[in-house]
A and B are shown apart, each in its own frame.
Chain A
Amino acid sequence: MSTPASDTTSLADPIRRSGLWRQLKRYPLVPLTILMLVLIIPAIFADLIAPYDPYQSHLRNRLAPPVFWGGSWEFILGTDRLGRDILSRIMHGARYALAISLVGIFLGAILGTFLGLLAGYRCGWTDIIVMRLVDISFALPSVLLALALAAVYGPSFQAVILVVVFVLWASFARQVRAETLSLRERDFVARARVVGCGHTRILFRHILPNVVNTVVVMATLQIGVVVLLEATLSFLGIGIPRPTPAWGLLVADGRQLVVSAWWISFFPGMAILFTVLSINLLGDWLRDRLDPKLRQV
């Protein structure tokens, strides 16, 4: 499936341009730029570039409108009910979005890859049990687990990470197992065994390096899913606890004020939208370029 971005990269360019330009055109620049501006740069440098402390109340400037809506340059995107600067809160929110995605995807990928390797390599009962668990995990809507967890522990970072891992591990396990199944029949595995490699060594030194590419591509594709999931849980009050400026919580803050102060909900939602959109565009591009196998996933 092609997207507008990948279409422009595949079109033959009739006018010859300089080498550097052609190099650049091979990458989906628009989504990459959006992603850097909305998610990655704010997440890393929030302390340096955010104009205010995200928790600081400017009580004289409560509900100040954004600059193009009759506000001042003091608060570019306006302020919320407590006079906190929306722009600063969105920038700091990027941190939580990025951190939860990285940790959750990392743990989910490791768990899924490990179980997938094991299932594909050992076959037999290990395979049956792991694949049954995969089926069950696909059969459970993630929100059920999130609800149950939130009811017992209240909103917490750990609960969000747990839900993310629970949602992700199965697709990694299924993909890695499928590849391991075909890899284990290959000649280089048989040769490794002949020279006396143990099973652990074969799994981690010979088979694992061959599936790492797929795992990395899959992990990248999941960032959008996780950002959306985390924002949804936080919005519902079963994700990241208040008063953290997570994007979902920022949207929830402005829910009741949409008539008088639309900007409180609007801008954090745009941040989520642009992040997920650019990751989906990148994902399409990656899928087309790197790994045709994943088109089925």
Chain B
Amino acid sequence: MRRFLVIRFLQALLALWVITIIVFGLSHLTGSPIDALLPDDASPEQIDNLIRHWGLDRPYHVQYLTFLGNALQGDFGESLKWRGQSALGVVLQRLPATLQLGGLAILISVVVAIPLGVMAAVRKGTTLDASANVIALLGQSLPTFWLGIILIWVFAVGLGWLPTSGYGGITYMILPAVAMAWFQIAALTRLTRSAMLEVLDAEYVKLARLKGVPEWQIVWKHALRNAAIVPLTYFGVLAGSILTGSVVIETVFAWPGTGWLAIEAIRGRDFPVVQTVVLVFAVVYLGLNFIVDALYAYVDPRIRYD
């Protein structure tokens, strides 16, 4: 178990290291980093400061080590758009809003998808199964950003039930969270359904039936417990698409999280903030995946000896 976790942890670090190389390569190897890291109207003094701070007059490997050293200390430079604030500060300030929305989206997708997938598997071939299939198919084909706009159009503008966009309480979160969860519901439903189908065919389920265990107990206790491992592995992927989704959905709903921040920063040519968002997202994503791996190994002992 420990060996498995150590290997997984090192792999996550390796992936993070590759990301730092990509980010560094994009900002330093292509053209002058001064263009990327400073506004067009920078004073000679600012340019001097930047060159000294990042060691831009030295060879590339020294520059990379400086970049890495600064990054490890949480120093990603100053934001260009939000003057006087550090890039990391700007990003961390917006992170809670993203986690809030992402958390609600994950909650919605689990609460909807798992029962739907289980029921579709139990009532295989019925109308319920077919409609679950249609929902799954639609979910995988709907462009999230368009769904967001349509939800605003129908529920906020047309019916006037919910606010169109902006930051606020639960009423402000419902539409963006539903739009974000839609795709996850599709994927999770399909996964749960196929996992359940496999488990419901197993010997111990038949034995439980022979023993006269009530059917609801067989389905929700015996079978689901064993089938749940498959959707669990999907949570790593889920975390990734929630991050992607946050960029899209926050932009559509003007939700002041990290995703929207990234888009604003790109429009304002604020490279320090963009690179910080990329690295913070990567840390969050790899961290969540590591936790999922650990849980997975804990739940299913077979994994540890891979």
Residue numbers of A with Cβ under 8 A of B are: 1-4, 132, 135-136, 139-145, 147-153, 224, 228, 231-232, 235-238, 248, 251-252, 254-255, 258-259, 262, 265-266, 269, 272-273, 276-277, 280-281
Tell me the B117-171 residues at the A interface (CB within 8 Å).
130, 133-134, 137-138, 140-146, 149-150, 152-153, 157
- A228 and B267 CA atoms in complex are apart in Å by 22
Scoring B residues 11 to 55 as 1 if CB is less than 8 Å from chain A, else 0, what string do you get? 110110011001100110011000010000000000000000000
- A261 and B185 CA atoms in complex are apart in Å by 30
Cβ–Cβ < 8 Å partners of B251 in chain A: 236
Q: Select which of B11, B157, B241, B271 is within 8 A of A151 by beta carbon.
A: B271
CB pairs A–B below 8 angstroms (13 shown)? A1-B133, A136-B18, A139-B12, A143-B243, A151-B271, A152-B271, A224-B140, A232-B248, A237-B266, A251-B145, A255-B149, A255-B252, A277-B137
| Count of chain A to chain B residue pairs whose CB atoms are closer than 8 Å in the complex | 135
B243-A276 in contact (CB<8A): no
Cβ–Cβ < 8 Å partners of B269 in chain A: 151
A139-B15 contact, Cβ under 8 Å, with A148-B274, A236-B247, A273-B143: yes
B259 CB → nearest A CB, Å = 9
B289-A224 in contact (CB<8A): no
Cβ–Cβ < 8 Å partners of B23 in chain A: 148
B134-A148 in contact (CB<8A): no
A150-B266 in contact (CB<8A): yes
B137-A136 in contact (CB<8A): no
Most buried by B among A132, A152, A277: A152
A141-B243 in contact (CB<8A): yes
Cβ–Cβ < 8 Å partners of A232 in chain B: 143-145, 248
A136-B243 contact, Cβ under 8 Å, with A251-B145, A276-B141, A280-B137: no
Most buried by B among A141, A252, A254: A141
Cβ–Cβ < 8 Å partners of B12 in chain A: 139
The number of chain B residues with a CB under 8 A from chain A is: 57
Q: Select which of B30, B144, B241, B286 is within 8 A of A152 by beta carbon.
A: B30
- A259 and B158 CA atoms in complex are apart in Å by 8
Stretch at the interface among B56-64, B88-96, B213-221, B277-285: B277-285
**Is residue B240 contacting chain A, with contact meaning CB distance below 8 A?**
yes
A145-B22 in contact (CB<8A): yes
A151-B153 contact, Cβ under 8 Å, with A139-B15, A224-B141, A255-B252: no
B26 CB → nearest A CB, Å = 5
- A258 and B145 CA atoms in complex are apart in Å by 13
A265-B26 in contact (CB<8A): no
Q: Select which of B26, B193, B244, B286 is within 8 A of A148 by beta carbon.
A: B26
Cβ–Cβ < 8 Å partners of B267 in chain A: 237
- A62 and B244 CA atoms in complex are apart in Å by 34
Cβ–Cβ < 8 Å partners of A262 in chain B: 153
A258-B266 in contact (CB<8A): no
Residue of chain B at shortest CB distance from A142: B244
- A150 and B275 CA atoms in complex are apart in Å by 11
Closest 8 CB pairs of A and B: A269-B146, A277-B141, A151-B274, A276-B141, A143-B244, A141-B240, A139-B15, A136-B15
Cβ–Cβ < 8 Å partners of A132 in chain B: 14
Residue of chain A at shortest CB distance from B251: A236
Cβ–Cβ < 8 Å partners of A142 in chain B: 244
Most buried by B among A228, A258, A276, A280: A258
A269-B274 contact, Cβ under 8 Å, with A143-B247, A276-B141: no
- A78 and B12 CA atoms in complex are apart in Å by 50
**Is residue B226 contacting chain A, with contact meaning CB distance below 8 A?**
no
A1-B146 in contact (CB<8A): no
B149-A269 in contact (CB<8A): yes
A281-B137 in contact (CB<8A): yes
B266-A147 in contact (CB<8A): yes
Cβ–Cβ < 8 Å partners of B152 in chain A: 258
- A252 and B150 CA atoms in complex are apart in Å by 12
Cβ–Cβ < 8 Å partners of A152 in chain B: 26-27, 30-31, 36, 271
Cβ–Cβ < 8 Å partners of B263 in chain A: 236-238
- A258 and B269 CA atoms in complex are apart in Å by 28
- A281 and B137 CA atoms in complex are apart in Å by 8
A1-B194 in contact (CB<8A): yes
**Is residue B262 contacting chain A, with contact meaning CB distance below 8 A?**
yes
Cβ–Cβ < 8 Å partners of B177 in chain A: none
B141-A1 in contact (CB<8A): no
Cβ–Cβ < 8 Å partners of B248 in chain A: 232, 235-236
B289-A139 in contact (CB<8A): yes
Residue of chain B at shortest CB distance from A150: B266
- A51 and B23 CA atoms in complex are apart in Å by 45
**Is residue B175 contacting chain A, with contact meaning CB distance below 8 A?**
no
Residue of chain B at shortest CB distance from A2: B133
Cβ–Cβ < 8 Å partners of B143 in chain A: 228, 231-232, 235, 248, 251, 269, 272-273, 276
- A252 and B263 CA atoms in complex are apart in Å by 14
Known contacts A237-B267, A269-B143; 12 additional CB pairs below 8 A are A2-B133, A139-B11, A144-B281, A152-B26, A228-B141, A238-B266, A251-B149, A265-B149, A265-B150, A273-B141, A276-B143, A280-B140
Cβ–Cβ < 8 Å partners of B275 in chain A: 148, 151
A258-B138 in contact (CB<8A): no
